[in-house]
Amino acid sequence: MEAVAQGQPSSVLDLACGSGDVTLALQNAIPTAQITGLDFCAALLAQATARGVKHVVEGDALQLPFPNESFSAVTLAFGLRNFSDRPKALLEIHRILQSGGLLALLEFSPPPYPWKLFWDFYLFRFMPWVAQRLTHQGESFRYLASSIAQFPAPSALHHELHTAGLKLLFTRPMTLRLVRLTVCRKVS
């Protein structure tokens, strides 16, 4: 929120907003901005609206239903690793951002060795095992684990962002280095 609010955006798109955790936090942090939450899951958007998100749009991140240069900032929390075509989604983000606009990206990131050994055990063994017993949804948690493991390392992600015309401003590990905030700017 701080990284986005500092740029004093007038309009923010919270992409893949789900049930609206980040969208709501943006509404509170930047009350002067027009905040829009977008997701392709109507049931989650209904939850977001019920929780107080003022403006939601049902749509696909790979084909955003907005004209060029519609937003001064985009946030994307735990969504990018789920997109079937990451380069296409990044080009769409670039298209709908105004020149100089910010993208703030939150995503899981593998911790360094030796912690990665514990993290992999937790992700691939412990978490699906517990989830299967508690929720009978072990398969969903195996998907979660593999989507996290297949997400590119920071240097490869920075290359993808650069290819899409997004210049890295800074990146910061968070939450025991399991999550990474990446903030970039549209340069061209």
Ligand X SMILES: C[S@@+](CC[C@H](N)C(=O)[O-])C[C@H]1O[C@@H](n2cnc3c(N)ncnc32)[C@H](O)[C@@H]1O
Cis amide bond preceding 128, omega within 30: no
Whether 160 contacts 184, CB under 8 Å: no
Calpha distance 165→184 (Å, rounded): 10
Part of the chain binding ligand X (CB under 6 A), chosen from 78-86, 112-120, 146-154, 168-176: 78-86
**In this chain, which of 4, 13, 44, 104 binds ligand X, going by CB under 6 A?**
44
Least CB distance from residue 74 to ligand X, whole Å? 12
Part of the chain binding ligand X (CB under 6 A), chosen from 3-11, 17-25, 112-120, 123-131: 17-25
Whether 56 contacts 43, CB under 8 Å: no
Residue whose entry in the numeric block shows the structure tokens 């951002």: 97
**In this chain, which of 36, 73, 78, 101 binds ligand X, going by CB under 6 A?**
78
φ, ψ of residue 76 to 5 degrees: the values are: -150, 105
**In this chain, which of 4, 12, 13, 16 binds ligand X, going by CB under 6 A?**
16
Residues near ligand X, by CB under 6 A: 16-18, 21-22, 39-41, 44, 60-62, 77-79, 82-83
